[in-house]
Structures are given as C-alpha cells and as structure tokens.
Structure 1
C-alpha cells in the first residue's frame, strides 16, 4: 500500500515534469515571424462507442478517421467544438503558411518511387 504522501509526491513530480516540458517547448520557439492563425487538429483516439453528440462534433470538424488532420481558422465556434472533444484530439496553433490541403498531405505521405531514371538508350541513339 502506498501512503497518501507518496502518491501526492508522485503526482506533483509528474505535474512538474509536464510543466517543464511545456515551458521547454514554448521557449524553444522564439517569437514567430508569422501570427498563429489556424488550429491543426488531429484525431488521436477513436470515437467508437461514444455518444452521438461527440461523433457529430467530430463530423462537424471534418474529422472522419483516426490520425486524420484538419486545419481550421481561429474562431469561437471551432474552439468550442475542440473543447467538446478535447480528450480525443491533439491541437496545435500554426501560422497560415503551415496549413496543408488534403492533396498536399497526401503527397507528403506518398512513398518515393524507389528508383531514378539516369539516362535512356533511346536518347543516345537519336
């Protein structure tokens, strides 16, 4: 059995660790040149067996599958939707230049061809 003081000490150390990680992340990014205007929202946990209002909120955000990322402008209604599903998603503030379309995201995930064409015999014979 753990005593209450041991549990409290462990909880405070984990809070301290989280706080130090948060400050390290914020201090590493020095004064961005662009204003942060968009949310990058990624669904990390599945919505299976959750109430229909949670699933509806995810659909309203445009998220349909796990690990899908969408971008939304900073607005009050989007912030409220994020708060509704905050346990399921990760949210980052990004500048407008970091916003990626679905096509750009698909191209980033696409693997390389695995080879390069160095030359062709047909070109050298002509």
Structure 2
C-alpha cells in the first residue's frame, strides 16, 4: 500500500516564484489595455519570395520560434497580414513586453544548486594587509 502513496519532491522556491509571477501577470493583464503584438515565427520562409522574407526581417524575425514585440500600429498590422501564414500573433499589454535579454534569462534553466559560501576567503593570502 505504501507504493500507492509516493511523495513527490516539492518544487524549488524559484519555480514557485516564477509560477506566481505568471499568474499575477495574467491577472493584471486582463485589466490592462492590449498595446503590443507578440509575434512568433512558426513557419520558415525559405521557399517563399524575397518580399515575404524582407517583411519578416522588417518585423525583426530571423529564426523560427523567435518572438518579437511590436506596438499596435497600422504598419505593423499590415506587415503581419503579409506573412499571416507564417507567424503566430497575440495581443499583450505593455507590461508583458520582454527584451531579447529578458527572454533569454527566462528560458535559462536553474543551476540546481546554491553557493552558500567559500572557504577560500579565509586563507592567509586572501587577507588584506593593514
């Protein structure tokens, strides 16, 4: 009977913090006005014409699964309509807009450990001279 009740390891505080931040973001995003397009390139434009490729570059999309944020403007909407078969578009508030660096840090896996301290700091050659 003990095999039926296995305890799963509890999630790390960092994972819980990220989940809480996501839930708060979705709760507050429903109240905020949608001001940006979240555009993700889902299909490749390899076999398509130069005009479609140039449109993707002008949107800032270079690789598949790359995500960029564009403000709601008629120009951006027209570009999206030109390549609508290749991209996935979502309306998001300004608070959900992420830079490339922020997106990279969000994707990065946790280290799996924490550094508590170092014993090397107490060594003789590490001490400062008075």
User: Structure 2-normalised TM-score?
Assistant: 0.68
Matched, 1:120 2:118: yes
Superposed CA offset, 1:59-111 (max 9, x none)? 01010000000000001111010000000000000000000011101111112
**Structure 1: runs of 5+ lacking an equivalent:** 1-28
SS of the equivalent of 2:68 reads: strand
Identify the residue that residue 90 of structure 1 maps to in structure 2.
88
Distance 1:112 1:34 in 2: 30
**Structure 2: runs of 5+ lacking an equivalent:** 1-26
Identify the residue that residue 59 of structure 2 maps to in structure 1.
61
Identify the residue that residue 103 of structure 1 maps to in structure 2.
101
RMSD: 2.3
Distance 2:65 2:89 in 1: 12
Name the structure where helix makes up a greater proportion of residues. Answer: 1
Consecutive aligned runs of 4 or more in structure 1 exceeding 4 Å deviation: 122-126
Distance 2:63 2:51 in 1: 16
How many equivalent residue pairs? 99
Q: Note the C-alpha offset of 1:33.
A: 1.2
